Chains A and B, each alone.
Chain A
Amino acid sequence: MLGRMNKVTRAASLAAVIAAALAGALAAAPAQAALGGDLASVRRDHAAIHATDAVTSTQYYDVHDGAGLAGEHIREYIDRSGKVFAVTWRGPHSPDVASLLGGYATRYLATAHAHHGGHHVLVIADADLSVSVVRLPRGWQGQAHLPQALPAGVSGAEIR
Chain B
Amino acid sequence: MNAVAKPLRGPLACVAVLLLTLSGCGGGGASSSAASTGTPDVADYAGVIVDAGPLQVNAVNALYTTVTLCAPGSTTQCQTIDHVLVDTGSSGFRVLASALGSGLTSSQLNAETDANGNVIVECTQFVDGYSWGPVKTATLQVGGETANNVPVQVIGDPAYPSSLIPSACMNVPNGEEDTVAQFGANGVLGIGNYLRDCGDFCTQSGAQDGSDYNACSTTVPVICSPTTLDTTLQVANPAALFATDNNGVLLQMGPVGSTDLSSATGLLVFGINTQTNNSLGTATIFALDAGYGTLQTSFDGVNLTQSYLDTGSDGYFLPDSSIPVCTDATGFFCPTTPLGLSAQIQDTDGNVAAVPFTVASADSVPFGDAVAPGLAGPAGTDAQQTFDWGLPFFYGRNVYVIFEGSTVNNVPGPAVAF
Q: What is the interface of chain A, defined by CB distance below 8 A to chain B?
A: 1-6, 9-10, 13, 69-71, 88, 92-98, 108-109, 111-125, 130, 132-143, 145, 156-160
Interface membership of B172, Cβ < 8 A: yes
Size band of the interface chain B makes with A: 35 or more
Partner of A93, one of B60, B125, B129, B312: B125
Contact B308 A123 (CB under 8 A): no
The count of A-to-B residue pairs whose CB atoms sit within 8 angstroms is 212
Q: Which residue of A lies closest to B333 (CB)?
A: A125
B95 within 8 A of A: no
Question: Quick check: is B15 within 8 A (CB to CB) of the other chain?
Answer: no
When the two chains form the complex, which single residue of B172, B330, B372, B390 contacts A116, counting CB atoms closer than 8 Å? B330
Question: Is B207's CB under 8 angstroms from A69's CB?
Answer: yes
Of B58, B87, B211, B321, the residue contacting A94 (CB under 8 A) is B211
Q: Which residues of B contact A95 (CB under 8 A)?
A: 171
Across-interface contacts of A138 in B (CB, < 8 A): 194, 199, 201, 291-293
B125 near A94 with CB under 8 A, answer yes
- Asked if B293 contacts A9 (CB within 8 A), the reply is no
In chain B between 357 and 374, which residues have their CB closer than 8 angstroms to a CB of chain A? 362-363, 365, 367-370, 372
A70, A116, A123, A136: the one within 8 Å of B306 (CB): A136
Interface bits B191-205 vs A (CB < 8 Å: 1, else 0): 011100001010010
A94-B87 Cα distance, complex, nearest whole Å: 19
Of residues 310 to 352 in B, which have CB atoms within 8 Å of A's CB atoms?
310, 312-314, 317, 321, 325, 328-332
Contacts of A94 in B (CB 8 A): 125, 127, 171, 211
- Cβ of A136: which chain B residues have Cβ within 8 Å of it? 292-294, 306, 308, 386
CB distance from A69 to the nearest CB of B (A): 7
Contacts of A113 in B (CB 8 A): 128-129, 172, 174-175
Instruction: Please indicate the chain B residues that have their CB under 8 angstroms from the CB of A140 in the complex.
Output: 125
Whose C-beta in chain A lies nearest to the C-beta of B313?
A120
Q: Is the CB of B207 within 8 A of A124?
A: no
Which listed residue (B62, B172, B294, B378) contacts A125, Cβ 8 A? Answer: B378
Known: A93-B209, A94-B125. A159 touches B171 (CB 8 A): no
Contact of B377 among A114, A117, A159 (CB under 8 A): A117
Is the Cβ of A115 less than 8 Å from the Cβ of B329?
no
Minimum C-beta distance from A31 to chain B (A):
16
What is the CB-to-nearest-CB distance from B331 to chain A, in angstroms, rounded to a whole number?
4
- What distance in Å separates the Cβ of B102 from its nearest Cβ neighbour in chain A? 28
Cβ contact within 8 Å between A4 and B60 = yes
Q: Collect the chain A residues with CB atoms within 8 Å of residue B317's CB.
A: 121, 123, 134
B127 touches A134 (CB 8 A): yes
A residues within 8 A CB of B207?
Answer: 69-71, 92
Which of B58, B330, B380 is in CB contact (< 8 Å) with A132?
B380
B276-305 to A contact mask, C-beta < 8 Å, 1/0:
000000000000000111100000000000
